Every structure is written in structure tokens, then in C-alpha cells.
Amino acid sequence: MAVVEAQVSHLRENPFELAREQLRRVAATFEIDQNLVNVLGTCKKAVEVSVPVHMDDGTTSVFAGYRVTHNVARGPSKGGIRYHPDVTLDEVKALAMWMTWKCALMGIPFGGAKGGVVVDPKQLSRGELERMTRRYTSEIINEIGPEKDIPAPDVGTDGAVMAWIFDTYSMNKGHSVLGVVTGKPLTIGGSLGRVEATARGALYCVRDAVAKRDGRLDGMTVAVQGFGNVGSFLAKFLHEEGASVVAISDSRAALYNSKGIDIAAAFAHKREHGTLAGLKDADQITNDDLLLLDVDILAPCALEQVITERNASQVKASIICEGGNGPVTPAADAILEDKGVLILPDVLANAGGVVVSYFEWVQGLQEYFWKETEVNAKLNDIVSRAFEETWETAESRHMPMRVAAYGLAVQRVAEATITRGIYP
């Protein structure tokens, strides 16, 4: 029996400590009571499980899995499940905390949660991936539920993984439970617009930010790090708005073309080969180089902590749209702010996914489904309202967008905590 160990992490700093430091700074700025900070700075529940799986070669591997609930003051917890070899408990805790702020900022009735398994899903066969998912679901089955904690896709997971979780949970309950997960395929209760939702929400934020600066997306240059669900669709949407996407990347390759990359060709190449490597009419660069390109908009849509105090001073983009969670560290924030860079923070810029997950959850509970135009229009309303509230707070209080976004969110969760009180 093989126990799968975590690899050396890409994280340079402890993400949960960074998340708590962000909370402390915001609490000081917005004068939030220290007793509330003590409550909000800890996770309600963290579960660690072992996930034994029969492999195709007859051996048994044991993977480590986690599910963390940060806060449920405003409703059931909500958050993705990540399959990645670098997953750690502290990373999952940080992501759960960020989900709490994201839901509060968007005004949807959820708290934050997150889950993960320490595994490289690309190294598993489809059968191994399904068996691992079903066993992981069985291990956390008492922690999740449509009125308790609702998982969704994240890095390394997709609609197929959500389908297996939905089926495993439903088989154990004896009936189909549509609201147990979101991000499901359309054939089993998924929502139209969910796949593109995170990228579409990011597009709305970039659009509104450019408009605030009296600019136009048409003709702007863009670099997108990460060509997964978020990065690929964000590149597509920005291209459709007239922007020139000059650089894209995935985990294996980063590509650059000063005249703009053919995004449709990139989609086709990625679909056929599983990587961007080898795409025609583009020069190979590194992911580190991509972050430092002279572009108008930089969209880090991959993993955390890619812009740090080591490279922040070399960033040339005037707008950073955080399509991924936690790509800019607090130390880098300070450097970029001094340079006048506008950062659209993750809790605002990539919240489109959880908004449409909320729509899917509502549709599943009602067993009544909406048209895609209706989903996108409601998403636009919610994201644009959150952007406007954040922008006005930042302008009126002379603070960065991140501090304004976190401040609004933390205040809302704090108010809910005070209103409910602490039992007993």
C-alpha cells in the first residue's frame, strides 16, 4: 500500500497566515471589534481524511483529503474541491476564509468552505479518478449537504467530478439531491452559464474598471496566466471585446505574440493535445516572464502567490485582475499600490463562479431552471453592484480596492455574527 506524500509546495508563505493578516489589517482600518476578529480569524471546522483507492495495477494508494468550513453566520458554507499535489490544510483554510468574504461581498447567503485532495489528477486514469472521488465523498459525506455545505469545482476538478460526488451522495441518501454540489453537467441539474461564470464575472469587473478610468477595452493588451476554466474563457471574452491577448500559459507552456494570439486556435490546440505547448504563431516564454510583460491588463488565473515582493516591482501592467485566488501577496500589494497599479482583488474579480453556483443551488432546490440570458443578466447585476460598492468605498476612504472589498465583506459577516449571537 502506497501513501501519497505532498510534493514541495509552490507556496512561498503560509496562505492561512496571510489570510489572517489580511483580516487583521482590514479590521484595524474598519474598526471591527477584536472579539469579532478572534471569531472570524478561525475556521469553524476542519476535517482531514485518508482516501484509499484501488489502482489499475492492483496496488492500493492512500491520498490525504480535507474539507474545511470557515464560517456559517450568513448561511450554509460553499466552496470548491481542489485536486492538486501541493494541497495543504493551511491552503484549504485560507481558501475557505476567502470564500466567506467573497460570498459576503456578492451579497449571497453563504459562508465559506473549501476542500482538497493531495493528488495530481493528470497522473490518474479516469477509473482511478472516479474511485478516488467516490471514496473521498464517502469520507466527508457527513460534512456536506444542500443545507449544510455545498462543494463545487476548483483547480483539478470539473463537472464530471461533481457528477460523481452528486451520485455518491444521492445513492447514500436513497434519492437524488440536486443541491448537494454545484458545477454539475446540465443533464443532471447543472446551470446554464456556470462553466464560464468565473471568467464572465472577471470580465465585468475589468470592463467596469476600464470605464471608471475613461478607457476602452478595445485595443488594450492583455496577458493571461493560466488556461484552465477561468483563464481560457477570460482570454476568449476579452478578445471578443476587442482586446489583444498577447500572452497565455498553462502548467506546461507560456506563449507570447506581440500581435495577439489566436484564442480560438489555442482552445482547439489545448483540446487536442492537452497543453498549449506547440501552438503555432507564438513564441515560448516562461510563466515568470509572462507576469512581467508590458501590457495594459495582467490576469493571473492560476495558483496563489505568483506575484510577490521579489517580482512586484518589475510588473508593468496598469491593471491586475485576480482571476485566481491569492495570486498577489500582501507584501507585493504594497509595492504595486506605490506604483499606481489598480488591483481587482480575487474576492471581487473571481466571484462570478460562486454567484452562478448560488443560482444553480437555487434552481436545484426549486427544480426550475433558467435561460442562459437570465443567468448572465443576474450575474452582471450582482457583480456590477459589488464592483460599484467596492469602488465607492475605495474612493471615499482613499484606500486600495482590496482593502475596500475585504472591509465591506468582513463588516457584513461581523454584523451577521453579532445579530445571531454566540450560542449558548
- Looking at the annotation, which residues are catalytic? 114
Q: Work out the average pLDDT over 408-416.
A: 97
Q: What percent of the chain has pLDDT over 90?
A: 95
Report the candidate in 417, 420, 422, 421 with the shortest Cα–Cα distance to residue 71: 417
Domains of the chain, residue spans: 2-19+43-179, 197-344
129, 121 Cβ separation under 8 angstroms? yes
In tens, the pLDDT along 335-346 reads 999 999 999 999
Q: Report whether pLDDT(105) > 70.
A: yes
Q: Is 209 helix (H, G, I), strand (E, B) or coil?
A: helix
If one compares 347 and 2, the residue with the highest pLDDT of the two is 347
Strand duo 283-285 + 254-256: pairing: antiparallel
Q: How confident is the model at residue 303 (pLDDT cuts 50, 70, 90)?
A: confident
Q: Is 82 helix (H, G, I), strand (E, B) or coil?
A: strand
Distance CA 150, CA 327 (A): 24
Q: Report whether pLDDT(155) > 70.
A: yes
Whole-model pTM over 0.85: yes
* Run of H or E including 405: helix 401-420
Predicted confidence at residue 5, as pLDDT, reads: 58
* Superfamily covering domain 2-19+43-179: Leucine Dehydrogenase, chain A, domain 1 (3.40.50.10860)
Q: Is 80 helix (H, G, I), strand (E, B) or coil?
A: strand
Q: Work out the average pLDDT over 174-187.
A: 97
In tens, the pLDDT along 31-65 reads 999 999 999 999 999 999 999 999 999 999 999 99
**Average pLDDT over the chain, rounded to an integer:** 96
How far apart, in Å, do the first and last CA atoms of the chain sit?
45
Q: Report whether pLDDT(391) > 70.
A: yes
Q: Work out the average pLDDT over 188-199.
A: 97
Predicted confidence at residue 4, as pLDDT, reads: 62
CATH of domain 197-344: 3.40.50.720
Q: C-alpha distances in angstroms, 37 versus 24, 28, 30, 95, 329? A: 7, 10, 11, 17, 21
Q: Report whether pLDDT(248) > 80.
A: yes
Check for a shared fold between 2-19+43-179 and 197-344. yes
Distance CA 144, CA 126 (A): 24
325, 346 Cβ separation under 8 angstroms? yes
